Structure 1
Amino acid sequence: MISNTFGYVGRFAPSPSGPLHFGSLVAALGSYLQAKSQQGKWLVRMEDLDPPREMPGAADDILRTLEAYGLHWDGSVMYQSQRHQAYQAQIDQWLSEHQAYYCQCTRKQIKAAGGYYPGTCRDLHLPADGCAVRLKVDNPVTEFNDLLHGNISIPLALAQEDFIIHRRDGLFAYNLAVVLDDIEQGVTEVVRGADLIEPTGRQIDLYRQLGQPKVRYLHLPLAVTENGNKLSKQNHAPAIDKRAPKPTLLAAMDFLGLAPAPALQDASLTDILNWGVQNWQLDKLPKSTAITMPFKNDEL
Protein backbone atom coordinates (compact mmCIF):
# COMPACT_ATOMS: atom_id res chain seq x y z
CA MET A 1 0.00 0.00 0.00
CA ILE A 2 1.25 3.45 -0.93
CA SER A 3 1.85 5.83 1.96
CA ASN A 4 -1.10 8.15 2.55
CA THR A 5 0.96 10.71 4.48
CA PHE A 6 -0.08 13.58 2.22
CA GLY A 7 -3.52 12.20 1.40
CA TYR A 8 -4.47 10.11 -1.61
CA VAL A 9 -6.48 11.79 -4.37
CA GLY A 10 -7.59 9.83 -7.41
CA ARG A 11 -10.00 10.60 -10.23
CA PHE A 12 -12.11 9.29 -13.06
CA ALA A 13 -12.17 11.58 -16.10
CA PRO A 14 -14.56 10.45 -18.86
CA SER A 15 -15.23 12.33 -22.07
CA PRO A 16 -18.94 12.94 -22.81
CA SER A 17 -18.85 11.46 -26.30
CA GLY A 18 -21.39 8.80 -25.38
CA PRO A 19 -22.78 6.74 -22.49
CA LEU A 20 -20.60 4.65 -20.19
CA HIS A 21 -19.78 1.21 -21.58
CA PHE A 22 -18.14 -1.78 -19.90
CA GLY A 23 -14.59 -0.60 -20.66
CA SER A 24 -15.20 2.79 -19.07
CA LEU A 25 -16.86 1.12 -16.07
CA VAL A 26 -13.66 -0.91 -15.56
CA ALA A 27 -11.63 2.33 -15.50
CA ALA A 28 -14.10 4.01 -13.14
CA LEU A 29 -14.27 1.03 -10.80
CA GLY A 30 -10.50 0.46 -10.76
CA SER A 31 -9.78 4.09 -9.93
CA TYR A 32 -12.54 4.10 -7.28
CA LEU A 33 -11.30 0.94 -5.54
CA GLN A 34 -7.68 2.10 -5.62
CA ALA A 35 -8.65 5.41 -4.00
CA LYS A 36 -11.03 4.01 -1.39
CA SER A 37 -8.67 1.16 -0.41
CA GLN A 38 -6.28 3.90 0.71
CA GLN A 39 -8.91 6.00 2.48
CA GLY A 40 -8.49 8.56 -0.25
CA LYS A 41 -10.70 10.91 -2.23
CA TRP A 42 -12.19 9.89 -5.56
CA LEU A 43 -12.99 12.77 -7.89
CA VAL A 44 -14.86 12.93 -11.18
CA ARG A 45 -13.85 15.30 -13.95
CA MET A 46 -15.75 15.71 -17.20
CA GLU A 47 -13.29 16.06 -20.08
CA ASP A 48 -15.59 18.05 -22.36
CA LEU A 49 -12.68 19.51 -24.29
CA ASP A 50 -13.73 18.56 -27.83
CA PRO A 51 -17.30 19.77 -28.57
CA PRO A 52 -17.52 18.24 -32.08
CA ARG A 53 -17.12 14.77 -30.56
CA GLU A 54 -19.51 15.25 -27.67
CA MET A 55 -23.01 13.80 -27.49
CA PRO A 56 -25.76 16.06 -26.12
CA GLY A 57 -26.78 14.89 -22.65
CA ALA A 58 -23.89 12.42 -22.33
CA ALA A 59 -22.20 14.21 -19.42
CA ASP A 60 -25.32 14.06 -17.27
CA ASP A 61 -26.01 10.47 -18.34
CA ILE A 62 -22.48 9.43 -17.29
CA LEU A 63 -22.96 10.95 -13.85
CA ARG A 64 -26.36 9.25 -13.42
CA THR A 65 -24.80 5.92 -14.45
CA LEU A 66 -22.02 6.25 -11.88
CA GLU A 67 -24.64 6.94 -9.22
CA ALA A 68 -26.69 3.94 -10.34
CA TYR A 69 -23.61 1.75 -9.83
CA GLY A 70 -22.96 3.15 -6.36
CA LEU A 71 -19.83 5.00 -7.48
CA HIS A 72 -20.32 8.26 -5.60
CA TRP A 73 -17.63 10.88 -6.05
CA ASP A 74 -16.18 13.31 -3.53
CA GLY A 75 -16.65 17.05 -3.97
CA SER A 76 -18.01 18.71 -7.08
CA VAL A 77 -17.50 17.65 -10.69
CA MET A 78 -14.90 19.63 -12.64
CA TYR A 79 -15.71 20.47 -16.28
CA GLN A 80 -12.84 21.20 -18.66
CA SER A 81 -15.13 23.47 -20.67
CA GLN A 82 -15.00 25.86 -17.69
CA ARG A 83 -11.19 25.82 -17.52
CA HIS A 84 -10.22 27.47 -20.82
CA GLN A 85 -8.93 30.62 -19.13
CA ALA A 86 -6.44 28.61 -17.05
CA TYR A 87 -5.21 26.69 -20.10
CA GLN A 88 -4.75 29.85 -22.15
CA ALA A 89 -2.93 31.65 -19.34
CA GLN A 90 -0.33 28.88 -19.16
CA ILE A 91 0.11 28.82 -22.92
CA ASP A 92 0.57 32.61 -22.98
CA GLN A 93 3.22 32.36 -20.27
CA TRP A 94 5.19 29.73 -22.18
CA LEU A 95 4.93 31.75 -25.40
CA SER A 96 6.24 34.85 -23.64
CA GLU A 97 9.14 32.81 -22.23
CA HIS A 98 9.87 31.28 -25.68
CA GLN A 99 9.28 27.84 -24.23
CA ALA A 100 6.40 27.37 -26.68
CA TYR A 101 6.04 28.46 -30.31
CA TYR A 102 3.62 28.60 -33.23
CA CYS A 103 3.76 25.79 -35.77
CA GLN A 104 2.16 25.68 -39.21
CA CYS A 105 3.07 22.10 -40.12
CA THR A 106 0.22 19.81 -41.18
CA ARG A 107 -0.22 16.14 -40.31
CA LYS A 108 0.50 15.30 -43.94
CA GLN A 109 3.84 17.13 -43.79
CA ILE A 110 4.80 15.43 -40.53
CA LYS A 111 3.89 12.03 -41.94
CA ALA A 112 6.06 12.75 -44.99
CA ALA A 113 8.94 13.64 -42.64
CA GLY A 114 8.81 10.20 -41.02
CA GLY A 115 5.84 10.42 -38.70
CA TYR A 116 7.44 12.45 -35.92
CA TYR A 117 7.61 16.22 -35.80
CA PRO A 118 11.22 17.26 -36.58
CA GLY A 119 11.09 20.75 -35.05
CA THR A 120 10.58 22.55 -38.38
CA CYS A 121 9.00 25.70 -36.92
CA ARG A 122 10.93 25.82 -33.63
CA ASP A 123 13.03 28.84 -34.52
CA LEU A 124 10.89 30.47 -37.21
CA HIS A 125 9.01 32.84 -34.86
CA LEU A 126 5.79 32.48 -36.81
CA PRO A 127 2.65 34.56 -36.14
CA ALA A 128 -0.38 32.94 -34.53
CA ASP A 129 -2.67 32.88 -37.57
CA GLY A 130 -3.54 29.35 -38.67
CA CYS A 131 -0.98 27.77 -36.38
CA ALA A 132 -0.91 25.26 -33.57
CA VAL A 133 1.18 25.90 -30.46
CA ARG A 134 3.93 23.43 -29.59
CA LEU A 135 5.87 23.11 -26.34
CA LYS A 136 9.63 22.69 -26.54
CA VAL A 137 10.94 19.39 -25.20
CA ASP A 138 14.56 19.83 -24.17
CA ASN A 139 14.84 16.94 -21.69
CA PRO A 140 12.85 14.00 -23.12
CA VAL A 141 11.13 11.57 -20.76
CA THR A 142 12.18 8.18 -22.10
CA GLU A 143 10.77 5.96 -19.35
CA PHE A 144 8.48 5.93 -16.34
CA ASN A 145 7.30 3.51 -13.68
CA ASP A 146 3.81 2.06 -13.78
CA LEU A 147 2.44 0.52 -10.59
CA LEU A 148 1.17 -2.52 -12.51
CA HIS A 149 3.49 -2.90 -15.50
CA GLY A 150 6.77 -1.71 -13.97
CA ASN A 151 9.24 0.26 -16.09
CA ILE A 152 7.74 1.51 -19.36
CA SER A 153 10.15 2.64 -22.09
CA ILE A 154 9.15 5.40 -24.51
CA PRO A 155 10.67 5.45 -28.02
CA LEU A 156 13.19 8.29 -28.26
CA ALA A 157 11.66 9.71 -31.45
CA LEU A 158 8.34 10.12 -29.64
CA ALA A 159 9.86 11.30 -26.37
CA GLN A 160 11.87 14.15 -27.88
CA GLU A 161 9.07 15.47 -30.10
CA ASP A 162 7.90 19.03 -29.38
CA PHE A 163 4.20 18.38 -28.82
CA ILE A 164 1.03 20.37 -29.39
CA ILE A 165 -0.62 22.15 -26.48
CA HIS A 166 -3.11 24.17 -28.56
CA ARG A 167 -4.53 22.81 -31.78
CA ARG A 168 -4.83 24.55 -35.15
CA ASP A 169 -8.63 24.32 -34.87
CA GLY A 170 -8.57 26.37 -31.67
CA LEU A 171 -9.11 23.53 -29.21
CA PHE A 172 -6.82 22.97 -26.23
CA ALA A 173 -4.76 19.78 -26.32
CA TYR A 174 -5.60 16.89 -24.02
CA ASN A 175 -2.12 16.56 -22.52
CA LEU A 176 -2.02 20.17 -21.33
CA ALA A 177 -5.57 20.18 -19.95
CA VAL A 178 -5.29 16.90 -18.08
CA VAL A 179 -2.07 17.88 -16.30
CA LEU A 180 -3.25 21.37 -15.34
CA ASP A 181 -6.51 19.87 -14.06
CA ASP A 182 -4.79 17.14 -12.06
CA ILE A 183 -2.56 19.76 -10.45
CA GLU A 184 -5.56 21.98 -9.69
CA GLN A 185 -7.44 19.06 -8.11
CA GLY A 186 -4.45 17.82 -6.13
CA VAL A 187 -4.46 14.39 -7.81
CA THR A 188 -1.68 12.17 -6.44
CA GLU A 189 -2.22 9.09 -8.61
CA VAL A 190 -3.70 8.57 -12.07
CA VAL A 191 -5.55 5.27 -12.58
CA ARG A 192 -6.79 4.83 -16.15
CA GLY A 193 -6.86 2.48 -19.13
CA ALA A 194 -3.73 1.16 -20.80
CA ASP A 195 -4.68 2.96 -24.02
CA LEU A 196 -3.31 6.11 -22.35
CA ILE A 197 0.18 4.74 -21.67
CA GLU A 198 1.66 6.45 -24.74
CA PRO A 199 1.03 10.12 -23.73
CA THR A 200 2.23 9.56 -20.16
CA GLY A 201 5.79 10.68 -20.95
CA ARG A 202 4.54 13.98 -22.31
CA GLN A 203 2.44 14.51 -19.21
CA ILE A 204 5.42 13.83 -16.96
CA ASP A 205 7.37 16.37 -19.02
CA LEU A 206 4.61 18.92 -18.38
CA TYR A 207 4.89 18.34 -14.63
CA ARG A 208 8.63 18.97 -14.92
CA GLN A 209 8.22 22.17 -16.92
CA LEU A 210 5.60 23.41 -14.46
CA GLY A 211 7.91 22.69 -11.51
CA GLN A 212 5.40 20.25 -10.00
CA PRO A 213 6.07 16.80 -8.53
CA LYS A 214 4.86 14.13 -10.92
CA VAL A 215 2.03 11.82 -9.92
CA ARG A 216 2.04 8.03 -9.82
CA TYR A 217 0.50 6.05 -12.67
CA LEU A 218 -1.49 2.84 -12.82
CA HIS A 219 -2.73 1.71 -16.24
CA LEU A 220 -5.51 -0.86 -16.08
CA PRO A 221 -6.03 -3.57 -18.72
CA LEU A 222 -8.42 -2.73 -21.55
CA ALA A 223 -11.50 -4.76 -22.35
CA VAL A 224 -11.40 -5.82 -26.00
CA THR A 225 -13.75 -7.75 -28.24
CA GLU A 226 -13.00 -11.15 -29.75
CA ASN A 227 -11.55 -9.48 -32.85
CA GLY A 228 -9.19 -7.41 -30.70
CA ASN A 229 -10.94 -4.05 -30.90
CA LYS A 230 -11.00 -1.92 -27.76
CA LEU A 231 -14.42 -1.38 -26.25
CA SER A 232 -15.00 2.29 -26.98
CA LYS A 233 -17.68 4.75 -27.94
CA GLN A 234 -16.06 5.08 -31.37
CA ASN A 235 -16.48 1.31 -31.84
CA HIS A 236 -20.13 1.53 -30.77
CA ALA A 237 -19.73 -0.29 -27.49
CA PRO A 238 -23.16 -0.69 -25.89
CA ALA A 239 -24.14 1.36 -22.86
CA ILE A 240 -24.21 -0.45 -19.55
CA ASP A 241 -27.59 -0.93 -17.89
CA LYS A 242 -28.48 1.61 -15.20
CA ARG A 243 -31.57 -0.36 -14.17
CA ALA A 244 -29.80 -3.61 -13.25
CA PRO A 245 -26.24 -2.67 -12.30
CA LYS A 246 -25.19 -5.61 -10.12
CA PRO A 247 -24.34 -8.20 -12.81
CA THR A 248 -22.20 -5.73 -14.76
CA LEU A 249 -20.52 -4.39 -11.62
CA LEU A 250 -19.60 -7.93 -10.56
CA ALA A 251 -18.36 -8.67 -14.10
CA ALA A 252 -16.11 -5.59 -13.92
CA MET A 253 -14.74 -6.77 -10.56
CA ASP A 254 -14.04 -10.18 -12.05
CA PHE A 255 -12.31 -8.53 -15.02
CA LEU A 256 -10.04 -6.70 -12.55
CA GLY A 257 -9.01 -9.98 -10.93
CA LEU A 258 -11.09 -9.81 -7.76
CA ALA A 259 -13.08 -13.03 -8.34
CA PRO A 260 -16.19 -11.97 -6.39
CA ALA A 261 -17.91 -14.78 -4.48
CA PRO A 262 -21.28 -16.01 -5.86
CA ALA A 263 -22.96 -14.89 -2.63
CA LEU A 264 -22.33 -11.27 -3.62
CA GLN A 265 -24.99 -11.59 -6.31
CA ASP A 266 -27.57 -11.19 -3.56
CA ALA A 267 -25.73 -8.35 -1.78
CA SER A 268 -26.50 -4.64 -2.04
CA LEU A 269 -24.39 -2.36 -4.23
CA THR A 270 -22.91 -0.81 -1.10
CA ASP A 271 -21.89 -4.21 0.27
CA ILE A 272 -20.45 -5.27 -3.09
CA LEU A 273 -18.33 -2.13 -3.33
CA ASN A 274 -17.23 -2.41 0.31
CA TRP A 275 -16.15 -6.00 -0.42
CA GLY A 276 -14.25 -4.73 -3.44
CA VAL A 277 -12.45 -2.08 -1.38
CA GLN A 278 -11.48 -4.62 1.28
CA ASN A 279 -10.20 -7.16 -1.26
CA TRP A 280 -8.53 -4.79 -3.73
CA GLN A 281 -4.88 -5.68 -4.33
CA LEU A 282 -2.66 -4.56 -7.19
CA ASP A 283 -1.05 -7.99 -7.44
CA LYS A 284 -4.45 -9.45 -8.33
CA LEU A 285 -4.72 -7.24 -11.41
CA PRO A 286 -4.03 -8.96 -14.74
CA LYS A 287 -0.68 -7.80 -16.12
CA SER A 288 -1.93 -7.75 -19.72
CA THR A 289 -2.67 -4.37 -21.26
CA ALA A 290 -5.67 -5.82 -23.10
CA ILE A 291 -8.03 -8.68 -22.23
CA THR A 292 -10.74 -10.25 -24.34
CA MET A 293 -14.07 -10.01 -22.58
CA PRO A 294 -15.27 -13.38 -21.21
CA PHE A 295 -18.80 -12.57 -22.43
CA LYS A 296 -20.55 -10.97 -25.37
CA ASN A 297 -21.75 -7.38 -25.53
CA ASP A 298 -25.40 -8.44 -25.37
CA GLU A 299 -24.78 -10.18 -22.04
CA LEU A 300 -24.06 -6.88 -20.30
Structure 2
Amino acid sequence: MPDCRVLWVAFLVCHAASLVTSAPSGNDIASQTSHASLKKEVNQLEASYKKCEKSLMEANNMLEQVTNEVQVDGTNKAQVDGTNEVQADWALEEELEQMGVSNPYATSAGSCVDDDLAGRLLSAISDVQRTVNGLRSGTSYHARNLAEHKHARQYRTKYRSEAGLAVDGNVHPDYHQGSCSYTNAGPDVWWYVDLEESYAIGEVKVYNNDRYPEMINPFNIMVGNSSDVGEMSQCGGNFGADYEDTLTWVIDCGGTPGRYVMVLLPGPNRSLMMCEVRVYEYTGPD
Protein backbone atom coordinates (compact mmCIF):
# COMPACT_ATOMS: atom_id res chain seq x y z
CA MET A 1 0.00 0.00 0.00
CA PRO A 2 2.72 2.59 0.84
CA ASP A 3 4.54 1.81 -2.41
CA CYS A 4 1.32 2.33 -4.37
CA ARG A 5 0.78 5.66 -2.66
CA VAL A 6 4.31 6.79 -3.43
CA LEU A 7 3.83 5.87 -7.09
CA TRP A 8 0.48 7.70 -7.13
CA VAL A 9 2.04 10.86 -5.68
CA ALA A 10 4.94 10.59 -8.13
CA PHE A 11 2.50 10.31 -11.01
CA LEU A 12 0.62 13.41 -9.88
CA VAL A 13 3.78 15.49 -9.66
CA CYS A 14 5.10 14.29 -13.02
CA HIS A 15 1.73 15.00 -14.61
CA ALA A 16 1.76 18.54 -13.22
CA ALA A 17 5.28 19.11 -14.54
CA SER A 18 4.25 17.90 -18.00
CA LEU A 19 1.36 20.34 -17.99
CA VAL A 20 3.71 23.23 -17.35
CA THR A 21 5.96 22.10 -20.17
CA SER A 22 3.11 21.91 -22.66
CA ALA A 23 1.27 25.06 -21.55
CA PRO A 24 1.76 28.08 -23.81
CA SER A 25 3.10 31.12 -22.00
CA GLY A 26 1.94 33.69 -24.55
CA ASN A 27 3.17 37.23 -24.94
CA ASP A 28 0.49 39.20 -23.14
CA ILE A 29 0.93 40.11 -19.47
CA ALA A 30 -2.08 38.16 -18.25
CA SER A 31 -0.89 34.97 -19.92
CA GLN A 32 2.64 35.38 -18.58
CA THR A 33 1.28 35.90 -15.08
CA SER A 34 -0.87 32.75 -15.31
CA HIS A 35 2.05 30.74 -16.64
CA ALA A 36 4.31 31.95 -13.83
CA SER A 37 1.65 31.03 -11.28
CA LEU A 38 1.37 27.60 -12.85
CA LYS A 39 5.12 27.01 -12.60
CA LYS A 40 5.10 28.11 -8.96
CA GLU A 41 2.31 25.67 -8.18
CA VAL A 42 4.17 22.73 -9.72
CA ASN A 43 7.44 23.69 -8.03
CA GLN A 44 5.66 23.61 -4.69
CA LEU A 45 4.24 20.19 -5.49
CA GLU A 46 7.65 18.87 -6.49
CA ALA A 47 9.23 20.25 -3.30
CA SER A 48 6.57 18.61 -1.13
CA TYR A 49 6.93 15.30 -2.93
CA LYS A 50 10.76 15.27 -2.80
CA LYS A 51 10.69 15.99 0.92
CA CYS A 52 8.20 13.20 1.44
CA GLU A 53 10.15 10.83 -0.82
CA LYS A 54 13.36 11.50 1.10
CA SER A 55 11.65 10.79 4.41
CA LEU A 56 10.21 7.56 3.07
CA MET A 57 13.58 6.40 1.75
CA GLU A 58 15.27 7.12 5.09
CA ALA A 59 12.50 5.38 7.00
CA ASN A 60 12.55 2.35 4.72
CA ASN A 61 16.35 2.07 5.02
CA MET A 62 16.06 2.28 8.79
CA LEU A 63 13.31 -0.33 8.75
CA GLU A 64 15.50 -2.73 6.78
CA GLN A 65 18.33 -2.18 9.26
CA VAL A 66 16.07 -2.81 12.21
CA THR A 67 14.56 -5.88 10.54
CA ASN A 68 18.03 -7.38 10.26
CA GLU A 69 18.86 -6.59 13.89
CA VAL A 70 15.67 -7.57 15.68
CA GLN A 71 15.51 -11.29 16.50
CA VAL A 72 12.07 -12.71 17.03
CA ASP A 73 11.54 -16.22 18.40
CA GLY A 74 8.58 -17.03 16.21
CA THR A 75 8.45 -20.68 17.34
CA ASN A 76 7.89 -19.85 21.02
CA LYS A 77 5.38 -17.09 20.26
CA ALA A 78 3.49 -19.39 17.93
CA GLN A 79 3.27 -21.99 20.68
CA VAL A 80 1.77 -19.43 23.06
CA ASP A 81 -0.90 -17.71 20.97
CA GLY A 82 -0.03 -17.93 17.27
CA THR A 83 0.62 -14.16 17.05
CA ASN A 84 4.24 -14.23 15.97
CA GLU A 85 3.59 -11.82 13.07
CA VAL A 86 1.87 -9.32 15.32
CA GLN A 87 4.63 -9.62 17.91
CA ALA A 88 7.23 -9.04 15.21
CA ASP A 89 5.44 -5.87 14.09
CA TRP A 90 5.31 -4.63 17.69
CA ALA A 91 9.02 -5.30 18.11
CA LEU A 92 9.84 -3.37 14.97
CA GLU A 93 7.70 -0.41 16.02
CA GLU A 94 9.33 -0.33 19.46
CA GLU A 95 12.80 -0.38 17.92
CA LEU A 96 11.84 2.41 15.50
CA GLU A 97 10.42 4.54 18.30
CA GLN A 98 13.58 4.09 20.37
CA MET A 99 15.67 5.19 17.40
CA GLY A 100 13.46 8.21 16.76
CA VAL A 101 12.10 6.99 13.45
CA SER A 102 8.37 6.94 12.72
CA ASN A 103 6.95 3.87 11.08
CA PRO A 104 6.83 4.54 7.32
CA TYR A 105 3.91 2.16 7.01
CA ALA A 106 1.73 4.18 9.34
CA THR A 107 -1.26 5.88 7.71
CA SER A 108 -2.20 8.37 10.38
CA ALA A 109 -2.63 12.09 9.69
CA GLY A 110 1.02 12.68 10.53
CA SER A 111 2.47 10.10 8.16
CA CYS A 112 4.43 11.13 5.11
CA VAL A 113 2.25 9.69 2.37
CA ASP A 114 -1.37 9.41 3.38
CA ASP A 115 -4.76 9.85 1.81
CA ASP A 116 -4.91 13.49 2.86
CA LEU A 117 -1.64 14.34 1.08
CA ALA A 118 -2.72 12.49 -2.06
CA GLY A 119 -6.03 14.32 -1.95
CA ARG A 120 -4.35 17.72 -1.65
CA LEU A 121 -2.02 16.91 -4.53
CA LEU A 122 -4.90 15.72 -6.68
CA SER A 123 -6.81 18.92 -5.96
CA ALA A 124 -3.77 20.99 -6.87
CA ILE A 125 -3.30 19.02 -10.09
CA SER A 126 -6.92 19.74 -10.97
CA ASP A 127 -6.29 23.46 -10.47
CA VAL A 128 -3.18 23.23 -12.63
CA GLN A 129 -5.09 21.44 -15.39
CA ARG A 130 -7.81 24.10 -15.42
CA THR A 131 -5.18 26.82 -15.62
CA VAL A 132 -3.47 25.09 -18.56
CA ASN A 133 -6.77 24.70 -20.39
CA GLY A 134 -7.48 28.37 -19.85
CA LEU A 135 -4.11 29.33 -21.29
CA ARG A 136 -4.58 27.08 -24.30
CA SER A 137 -8.06 28.28 -25.19
CA GLY A 138 -7.45 31.94 -24.35
CA THR A 139 -10.81 32.08 -22.61
CA SER A 140 -12.16 31.95 -19.09
CA TYR A 141 -13.88 28.62 -19.75
CA HIS A 142 -11.59 26.03 -18.19
CA ALA A 143 -12.29 22.57 -19.59
CA ARG A 144 -10.99 19.83 -21.85
CA ASN A 145 -12.00 19.82 -25.50
CA LEU A 146 -14.02 16.63 -25.77
CA ALA A 147 -14.17 16.63 -29.57
CA GLU A 148 -10.52 16.82 -30.56
CA HIS A 149 -9.41 13.86 -32.69
CA LYS A 150 -12.71 12.06 -32.13
CA HIS A 151 -14.52 10.34 -35.01
CA ALA A 152 -16.57 12.76 -37.11
CA ARG A 153 -18.95 12.31 -40.04
CA GLN A 154 -20.66 14.68 -42.45
CA TYR A 155 -22.99 14.96 -45.42
CA ARG A 156 -21.25 14.10 -48.70
CA THR A 157 -17.60 15.19 -48.54
CA LYS A 158 -16.28 17.64 -51.15
CA TYR A 159 -12.69 17.83 -52.41
CA ARG A 160 -11.52 15.26 -49.85
CA SER A 161 -12.10 17.80 -47.10
CA GLU A 162 -13.10 15.13 -44.59
CA ALA A 163 -15.21 15.68 -41.47
CA GLY A 164 -12.24 14.87 -39.23
CA LEU A 165 -10.46 18.03 -40.34
CA ALA A 166 -12.87 19.98 -38.14
CA VAL A 167 -11.62 18.19 -35.01
CA ASP A 168 -7.88 18.09 -35.77
CA GLY A 169 -7.01 20.84 -33.27
CA ASN A 170 -6.22 23.44 -35.96
CA VAL A 171 -8.54 26.49 -36.00
CA HIS A 172 -6.88 28.29 -38.92
CA PRO A 173 -9.68 29.83 -41.04
CA ASP A 174 -7.93 29.53 -44.41
CA TYR A 175 -9.47 26.61 -46.30
CA HIS A 176 -6.34 26.28 -48.45
CA GLN A 177 -4.31 25.38 -45.37
CA GLY A 178 -5.98 21.97 -45.53
CA SER A 179 -7.58 21.95 -42.09
CA CYS A 180 -11.25 22.69 -42.83
CA SER A 181 -14.08 20.28 -43.55
CA TYR A 182 -16.29 20.84 -46.60
CA THR A 183 -19.46 19.22 -47.91
CA ASN A 184 -21.27 19.10 -51.20
CA ALA A 185 -24.49 21.07 -51.46
CA GLY A 186 -27.73 19.46 -50.38
CA PRO A 187 -30.78 19.81 -48.13
CA ASP A 188 -30.32 20.08 -44.36
CA VAL A 189 -26.59 19.45 -44.57
CA TRP A 190 -25.07 18.08 -41.38
CA TRP A 191 -21.77 17.36 -39.61
CA TYR A 192 -21.38 15.61 -36.28
CA VAL A 193 -18.73 14.32 -33.90
CA ASP A 194 -18.98 11.18 -31.77
CA LEU A 195 -17.65 11.90 -28.25
CA GLU A 196 -17.61 8.11 -27.57
CA GLU A 197 -19.68 8.51 -24.39
CA SER A 198 -22.42 10.77 -23.13
CA TYR A 199 -21.54 14.07 -21.46
CA ALA A 200 -23.43 17.05 -20.13
CA ILE A 201 -22.52 19.49 -22.89
CA GLY A 202 -21.64 23.00 -21.73
CA GLU A 203 -20.25 24.96 -24.67
CA VAL A 204 -19.76 24.30 -28.35
CA LYS A 205 -17.32 26.49 -30.30
CA VAL A 206 -17.63 26.67 -34.06
CA TYR A 207 -14.76 28.15 -36.10
CA ASN A 208 -15.82 29.39 -39.54
CA ASN A 209 -13.75 29.68 -42.71
CA ASP A 210 -12.73 33.05 -44.17
CA ARG A 211 -13.18 32.05 -47.82
CA TYR A 212 -16.96 31.68 -47.91
CA PRO A 213 -18.02 32.74 -44.40
CA GLU A 214 -21.61 33.45 -45.50
CA MET A 215 -22.29 29.76 -46.25
CA ILE A 216 -22.68 28.90 -42.58
CA ASN A 217 -25.57 31.30 -42.04
CA PRO A 218 -27.81 30.09 -40.47
CA PHE A 219 -26.70 27.02 -38.52
CA ASN A 220 -27.98 25.05 -35.53
CA ILE A 221 -26.22 23.07 -32.82
CA MET A 222 -27.84 19.75 -31.97
CA VAL A 223 -26.93 17.41 -29.08
CA GLY A 224 -28.14 13.91 -28.26
CA ASN A 225 -27.33 10.29 -27.53
CA SER A 226 -28.29 9.36 -31.10
CA SER A 227 -26.89 10.76 -34.33
CA ASP A 228 -30.44 10.91 -35.69
CA VAL A 229 -31.25 14.62 -35.82
CA GLY A 230 -34.88 13.82 -35.02
CA GLU A 231 -33.82 12.51 -31.60
CA MET A 232 -31.47 15.39 -30.74
CA SER A 233 -32.04 18.57 -28.74
CA GLN A 234 -31.24 21.99 -30.15
CA CYS A 235 -28.99 24.41 -28.25
CA GLY A 236 -30.43 27.90 -28.65
CA GLY A 237 -31.77 29.07 -32.00
CA ASN A 238 -30.16 30.01 -35.30
CA PHE A 239 -26.56 31.21 -35.40
CA GLY A 240 -24.29 32.69 -38.06
CA ALA A 241 -26.09 35.91 -39.00
CA ASP A 242 -23.10 37.94 -37.76
CA TYR A 243 -20.61 36.11 -40.00
CA GLU A 244 -19.23 39.43 -41.26
CA ASP A 245 -18.18 40.39 -37.73
CA THR A 246 -16.85 37.11 -36.36
CA LEU A 247 -15.45 33.77 -37.45
CA THR A 248 -16.09 32.07 -34.10
CA TRP A 249 -19.30 31.32 -32.27
CA VAL A 250 -19.67 30.05 -28.71
CA ILE A 251 -22.98 28.28 -28.16
CA ASP A 252 -24.20 27.59 -24.63
CA CYS A 253 -25.86 24.19 -24.34
CA GLY A 254 -26.38 24.49 -20.58
CA GLY A 255 -25.66 20.85 -19.72
CA THR A 256 -27.70 19.17 -22.46
CA PRO A 257 -26.79 15.45 -22.29
CA GLY A 258 -25.43 13.75 -25.36
CA ARG A 259 -22.75 11.68 -27.03
CA TYR A 260 -23.17 13.30 -30.45
CA VAL A 261 -22.78 17.01 -31.24
CA MET A 262 -24.05 18.13 -34.62
CA VAL A 263 -23.72 21.27 -36.73
CA LEU A 264 -26.83 21.45 -38.91
CA LEU A 265 -27.50 23.77 -41.84
CA PRO A 266 -31.29 23.88 -42.21
CA GLY A 267 -32.83 24.46 -45.60
CA PRO A 268 -32.30 23.40 -49.23
CA ASN A 269 -29.12 23.69 -51.27
CA ARG A 270 -26.77 24.25 -48.32
CA SER A 271 -23.02 23.52 -48.14
CA LEU A 272 -20.93 23.47 -44.96
CA MET A 273 -17.31 24.59 -44.76
CA MET A 274 -15.87 25.04 -41.27
CA CYS A 275 -12.42 24.79 -39.77
CA GLU A 276 -12.91 23.50 -36.22
CA VAL A 277 -15.51 22.45 -33.67
CA ARG A 278 -14.69 22.28 -29.98
CA VAL A 279 -16.96 20.79 -27.33
CA TYR A 280 -16.69 21.43 -23.59
CA GLU A 281 -18.35 19.61 -20.72
CA TYR A 282 -20.81 21.47 -18.50
CA THR A 283 -19.29 22.26 -15.10
CA GLY A 284 -22.24 23.99 -13.47
CA PRO A 285 -23.18 27.65 -13.12
CA ASP A 286 -20.34 30.11 -12.55
TM-score, normalised with respect to structure 2: 0.29
TM-score, normalised with respect to structure 1: 0.28
Which one scores higher on RCO, CA 8 angstroms, separation ≥ 6?
1
Higher strand share: 2
Structure with max Cα Rg: 2
